[in-house]
Amino acid sequence: EIVLTQSPGTLSLSPGERATLSCRASQSVSSSYLAWYQQKPGQAPRLLIYGASSRATGIPDRFSGSGSGTDFTLTISRLEPEDFAVYYCQQYGSSHPNPGYTFGQGTKLEIK
Amino acid sequence: QVQLQESGPGLVKPSQTLSLTCTVSGGSISSGSYYWSWIRQPAGKGLEWIGRIYTSGSTNYNPSLKSRVTISVDTSKNQFSLKLSSVTAADTAVYYCASVVVTPNVYFDLWGRGTLVTVSS
């Protein structure tokens, strides 16, 4: 099973600042199979980025994803108040006979 | 637009079976473009994938839960369901259903709002 490790666990920043969130995989992940989600308290996760770098429908362009292999990054260029939330990366492993999905443990982005 | 909604008991006794249903509205569960999945999240913790099903009935489960999980689909009702047997307090969580895009990228694109299931006597 591929393990995703997100860092930092908590990131304290101010509105207007740039946020850089990391997701490291225990083995190589296809970029097609790497996604990022945002979750606010009491809500379901919302898809932000798929295919490592493609923004989902309706996601502002201040959100961007990059990376390949074992190292992936979610960048928020200029933080808005509504961006403070928990962010998860997720990968799909297609190994036969047990394909499956794993999530990172999350990065909490909090207001400084 | 397609929406997903979980339903089922919010309280289950230890050792019993947790049963939840996800109803898909605004689109057909048989469209063929998606897998359908269950994910859970204990309070204050991260996300755990439980399993997925295709409209053909083909399933895959998280190995850590495989012995206790059954996911099924009812295309006539546009629903898919989760059964988790022999539950303990560790199974207390918010349970989400989600649609999974599988080609060419793989990701959970739509989520239900989630339903809290508490395991307690």
- CB contact (8 A) between residue B47 and residue A47: no
Whole-angstrom Cα distance, residue B48 to residue B59?
Answer: 17
**Chain B contact present for A103, CB below 8 A:** yes
What pLDDT sits at residue B26? 94
Percent of chain B with pLDDT over 70: 100
What pLDDT sits at residue B59? 95
- Mean pLDDT, all residues of chain B: 96
| Residue type at position A98 | N
Over the stretch B32-73, which tens digit does the pLDDT of each residue have?
789 999 999 999 999 999 999 999 999 999 999 999 999 999
Mean pLDDT of B82-98: 98
Whole-angstrom Cα distance, residue B114 to residue B47?
Answer: 12
Please report the DSSP string for chain A in residue order.
---EEEE-SEEEE-TTS-EEEEEEEEEEE-GGGEEEEEE-TTS--EEEEETTTEEPTT--TTEEEEEEEEEEEEEESS--GGG-SEEEEEEEE--SS--EEEE---EEEEE-
- CB contact (8 A) between residue B46 and residue A45: no
What pLDDT sits at residue A48? 98
Whole-angstrom Cα distance, residue B38 to residue A44?
Answer: 12
Considering CB atoms only, which of A33, A47, A101 is closest to B109? Answer: A47
Measured CA to CA in angstroms, residue B105 lies from A16, A79, B15 at distances of 31, 27, 38
Do the Cβ atoms of B14 and B91 come closer than 8 Å? no
pLDDT category at A97 given cuts 50, 70, 90 is confident
Mean pLDDT of A17-46: 97
- CB contact (8 A) between residue B108 and residue A47: yes
pLDDT category at B95 given cuts 50, 70, 90 is very high
Residue A96 has pLDDT above 80, yes or no: no
Measured CA to CA in angstroms, residue B54 lies from A100, B15, B33, B111 at distances of 13, 28, 9, 16
Whole-angstrom Cα distance, residue B41 to residue A111?
Answer: 24
pLDDT category at A72 given cuts 50, 70, 90 is very high
Mean pLDDT of A72-95: 96
DSSP 8-class letter at B89: G
Min Cα separation B2/chain A (Å)? 14
Residue A94 has pLDDT above 90, yes or no: no
- CB contact (8 A) between residue A105 and residue B63: no
Residue B28 has pLDDT above 80, yes or no: yes
Chain A partners within 8 Å of B48 (Cβ): 103
Closest alpha carbon to B50 in B62, B63, B35, B68: B62
Considering CB atoms only, which of B37, B46, B106 is closest to A106? Answer: B46
Token couple for A89? 């990366």
Mean pLDDT of A19-48: 97
Min Cα separation B116/chain A (Å)? 11
- CB contact (8 A) between residue A50 and residue B107: yes
pLDDT category at A39 given cuts 50, 70, 90 is very high
Whole-angstrom Cα distance, residue A25 to residue A89?
Answer: 10
* Alpha carbon A12 to chain centroid, angstroms: 16
